[in-house]
Amino acid sequence: MLYYFDLAGVAVFAISGVLAARDRDLDLLGVIVIAAITAIGGGTLRDLLLDRHPIFWITDVWYLIIIIISALFTVAYVRKWSPPGKLILVADAFGLALFALSGAQYAEATQSSPLIVILMGTMTGVTGGILRDVITNKIPMILRREIYATAAIVGITAYLAMQALGIPQEAAFGGGILVVVVMRLIAIRWSLHLPVSHKP
């Protein structure tokens, strides 16, 4: 089940990478590269830090196939129809949730402490988006007072707390995803932001 959630996260983040790159005057190869970096950047960093070798997408070509298919489909779609204005943010919310919780589960499998599980899950969720924004010359969402990494942290914490209360892992996983997505969508819908640390 974790494997299929991971593939779903790769597809969603690849789509968000294409949507972020569509107005950057890139050729098709450039768009696919952005999609790939967005989709596997976080998981690659997670595997390196957890010393999981070889890296997941090197041993399983389906990750790259899903990225290419998702990117080509999205490119074809946006050439014919204009995506809704906030579609990239919604797609990113689901990608963040799927990657954050799957990253947390991978860290759990190494018997890591809860703090490391939260850190690895959050890193898995946000790194791809950071790389995508940097390469497309945008300020990363994590630096724009967005409720972004915070949503991942809260969702993973909720996932761990539910397990501690005796809730089965599968149900806790779904609950954690729901927490992340709801937090992000509420923040998007009502333009909620984190408070600044000081007044200008």
- For residue 12, the surrounding DSSP H or E stretch is helix 2-21
Question: What mean pLDDT do residues 123-130 have?
Answer: 93
Domain span at 88: 2-189
Domain count, the chain: 1
The terminus-to-terminus CA distance of the chain in angstroms comes to 47
Reported confidence tier of residue 197, pLDDT bands at 50, 70, 90: low
Give residue-wise pLDDT tens across range 71-87: 999 999 988 988 776 77
Domain for residue 161, yes or no?
A: yes
Domain for residue 154, yes or no?
A: yes
Q: List residues bridging with 146 in a β-sheet.
A: 193
Q: What is the pLDDT of residue 118?
A: 98
Q: Are 178 and 100 spatial neighbours (Cβ–Cβ below 8 Å)?
A: no
| Residue 66 pLDDT greater than 90, yes or no | yes
Q: What is the pLDDT of residue 198?
A: 58
What is the residue-averaged pLDDT of the chain?
A: 90
Domain for residue 118, yes or no?
A: yes
Q: What is the pLDDT of residue 194?
A: 82
- Closest Cα partner for 41 from 85, 95, 107? 95
CA distance 165 to 116: 20
| Residue 199 pLDDT greater than 60, yes or no | no
CA distance 160 to 128: 23
Reported confidence tier of residue 23, pLDDT bands at 50, 70, 90: confident
Q: What is the pLDDT of residue 106?
A: 92
Domain for residue 196, yes or no?
A: no
Domain for residue 74, yes or no?
A: yes
Domain for residue 198, yes or no?
A: no
Reported confidence tier of residue 94, pLDDT bands at 50, 70, 90: confident
CA distance 192 to 195: 9
Cβ burial of 136 (10 Å; 0-12, 13-18, 19+) is middle
Domain for residue 68, yes or no?
A: yes
Domain for residue 194, yes or no?
A: no
Q: What is the pLDDT of residue 40?
A: 96
